[in-house]
């Protein structure tokens, strides 16, 4: 099984087979418009612009599961991303990335790339762990998504290469992206 076996709905509600992205390097991210990590949209768009001609595609999947930080509808989300961050990479319909209603794609991603822990050497890592512990202590267990802006790098063969937690900025992903593209 690979990510190419999944289908999802884009931000306009159209069904998309991820096999449309075969032979591309994918960066799949669960996003939110009212999160402390929301400014990462800017860095994600910069990565997309810099590497799209080499085969990178960023795929954004909004989710409202963490402190209701993605409350809007699809049109509002799309407009927010475009107007505030100039997002041109593909966005998809709002989904659940953990729990009973978890989208199968995110189950596959979480199972394929286990949680490696929070970056406790960073202040943001300490803060996000404290927030998760306070509001969603059950999220500390297992490999599920812990918070918004968890990122998965998927190779051109459709297999997950690496998982990056929310505190890892898009700029910090660049060496991994360059290596995967070479």
Q: pLDDT for 49-92, tens place per residue?
A: 999 999 999 999 999 999 999 999 999 999 999 999 999 999 99
Q: Pick the catalytic residue from 18, 29, 35, 180.
A: 35
Helix, strand, coil % in the chain, rounded to nearest 5: 40, 20, 40
Query: 66-72 long-range CB contacts below 8 Å, 24 or more apart?
Result: 66/32, 66/35, 66/135, 66/136, 66/147, 66/148, 67/131, 67/135, 69/32, 69/33, 69/34, 69/35, 69/38, 69/148, 70/31, 70/32, 70/33, 70/34, 70/35, 70/94, 70/148, 71/34, 72/33
* Per-residue pLDDT band at 45 (split at 50, 70, 90): very high
Please give the share of the chain, as a percent, with pLDDT higher than 70: 100
pTM of the prediction?
0.96
pLDDT score recorded for residue 163: 98
pLDDT score recorded for residue 125: 93
Q: What sign does the CA torsion over 141, 151, 129, 77 have?
A: negative
CA–CA distance, 133 with 128 (Å, rounded to integer): 8
Average model confidence (pLDDT) for the chain? 96
Cα 24 versus chain centre, distance: 16
**Has 81 been annotated as catalytic?**
no
In the predicted model, what is the mean pLDDT of residues 128-153?
95
pLDDT score recorded for residue 5: 97
pLDDT score recorded for residue 50: 98
3-181, CATH topology level? Glutaredoxin (3.40.30)
CA–CA distance, 69 with 85 (Å, rounded to integer): 17
pLDDT score recorded for residue 28: 98
């Amino acid at each position: 099984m690979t990510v190419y076996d999944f289908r999802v709905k884009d931000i306009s509600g159209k069904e998309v087979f991820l096999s449309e992205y075969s032979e591309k390097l994918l960066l799949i991210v669960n996003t939110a418009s009212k999160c402390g990590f929301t400014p990462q949209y800017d860095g994600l768009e910069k990565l997309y612009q810099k590497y799209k001609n080499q085969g990178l595609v960023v795929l954004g999947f909004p989710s409202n599961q963490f402190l209701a930080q993605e409350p809007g509808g699809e049109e509002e989300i799309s407009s927010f991303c475009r107007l505030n961050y100039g997002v041109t990479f593909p966005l998809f319909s709002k989904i659940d990335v953990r729990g009973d209603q978890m989208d199968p794609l995110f189950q596959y991603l979480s199972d394929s790339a286990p949680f490696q822990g929070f970056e406790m050497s960073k202040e943001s890592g300490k803060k996000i762990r404290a927030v998760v512990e306070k509001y969603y202590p059950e999220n500390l267990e297992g490999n599920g998504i812990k918070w918004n802006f968890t990122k998965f790098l998927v190779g051109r063969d459709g297999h997950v290469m690496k998982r990056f937690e929310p505190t890892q900025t898009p700029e910090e992903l660049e060496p991994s992206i360059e290596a995967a593209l070479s």
